[in-house]
Amino acid sequence: MKKKKRKEKKGKRNSVQELLGIRHFADYGLMTDSGELVFFRVAPTNISVLSSVNIQQKILGLTNLLKTDPDMGIVCTDSCECFDSNREYLRRRAVEESNPKVKALLEMDRDMLTRMQAEMSNAREFYLVKRYTGLKPEMVFSQSNTTMKNISDNGFETERLDKEQIKRLLGIYFGTTMDGDKLPDVDGGQYEKEAADGTV
């Protein structure tokens, strides 16, 4: 009897997708319970080489952008390449290699990739996020083009992310994988494809 009450109290567990309010990938972004999120990558600027006047112009540009589009969000993530597959390949080659000199070179290359990834983990990528509510896909496309022009007019290089780029961004943001672009659109999607191909 106690066990039954405990189960009833727990109720239905929400998935992470449901908790985040994410529905599915849309034509130009990510469909959520409160509209379509479209992501724009902004090329970072090395302000250490800019004059104080140019730095002020960049600050003014961002201020103007956020004033004219107050619903715009800013996302900052790590920007590191994933060398896991390369390091794994070098590890296997080192295990198989009988020549000690070649083995040592393979280990050196593997160590170098490990150092490179550690150094690159300090790099950053910057994104602007805009929510479009109650619009048809063609209107989202049109308005997101207007948003891109607004970003560019304020002095920032930008591009709109496609589905694979959004998947990679989500993988990095939630710290799950650096290869998010290789993930299926839905959980278990890769197994459906294998079943359809007759490989499982």
pLDDT tens digit sequence for 133-172: 888 888 989 999 999 999 999 999 999 998 888 888 887 7
SS3 121: coil
21 versus 151: the higher-pLDDT residue is: 151
Q: Please give the torsion angle defined by the CA atoms of residues 44, 50, 54 and 58, in that order, rounded to the nearest 10 degrees.
A: 20
Distance CA 107, CA 93 (A): 9
**pLDDT score at 165:** 85
Q: At what angle do helices 84-96 and 100-120 cross, to 10 degrees?
A: 170
Q: Which pLDDT score is estimated for 71? A: 84
Give the integer Cα–Cα distance in Å for 40 and 6: 46
**pLDDT tops 90 at residue 129:** yes
Give, as one character, the DSSP assignment of residue 45.
-
pLDDT mean over 99-106: 92
More confident residue, 19 or 97: 97
Closest CA to 74 of 147, 146, 129: 129
